[in-house]
Copies of this chain bind each other. A is one copy, B any other.
């Protein structure tokens, strides 16, 4: 790990970023998509490693670093997760308003079968790392820290052209059992990772397919 540039503590760093970098960073954010269609070819381990190294530098409450990653390669376990998706998605379809059901049924919402890399992310709610600092009135900040790591991973993979999809239409308890998660690990996300079938678009698929539109930022920012 010492020779990983993302990780070297004595790497020279200017600490400043110019407008050119910021424009490219904005493009990275703008061209990150939730990917559901993957090519089957493998993702190099070096890319995964580099992205996980960066994810591990995410902010965490009290420096608790509560993220736990479980890569699932076992086919039978993957199939149990796929089955959990099918159950949860059938229930979601049934609970969707009648006028929305036809569109919902056409949406592709996961790539559990296709993506070469499948990874569950948990939050260790029992961790003593960081000695609970900052998490007494808001213990949910441990899960939030884990989300920051996932989001870092997403951007880091995208910078390599690798796509990621976050599947939430799952039964958390089932996934925890599939992953042999210890008591006290909270299931946060199931991630599908691989090369996307098509280039990352500029707008979310749910926007392109007419499911929802982007809100106006001005409607979401208030002043007191």
Contacts and interface: CB of A to CB of B under 8 A. Distances in A.
Interface residues of A, number: 107
Contact of A224 (B71, B203, B207, B220): B71
Interface string A45-59: 000001011101111
User: How many copies of this chain does the complex contain?
Assistant: 2
Given A62-B212, A223-B73, A137 B168 contact: yes
A100 interface: yes
A83 interface: no
A151 B152 contact: yes
B25 A159 contact: yes
A30 B12 CA distance: 12
A159 B202 contact: no
Contact of A67 (B72, B141, B144, B220): B220
B31 A130 contact: no
Contacts of A1: 217
A206 B70 CA distance: 27
Interface in A124-149: 129-138, 140-141, 143-144, 147-148
Interface in A56-78: 56-59, 61-65, 67-74, 77
Given A91-B136, A169-B137, A212-B130, A59 B21 contact: no
Interface of A: 1, 5-6, 9, 11, 13-17, 21-32, 34, 50, 52-54, 56-59, 61-65, 67-74, 77, 88, 91-92, 95-97, 100, 104, 107, 109, 129-138, 140-141, 143-144, 147-148, 151-152, 154-156, 158-161, 166, 168-172, 179-180, 188-189, 199-200, 202-204, 206-207, 211-212, 214-215, 217, 220-224
Given A25-B159, A141-B168, 15 more contacts: A5-B23, A14-B27, A21-B21, A56-B214, A59-B151, A63-B211, A65-B215, A69-B220, A71-B222, A95-B132, A100-B131, A109-B134, A130-B206, A135-B168, A137-B168
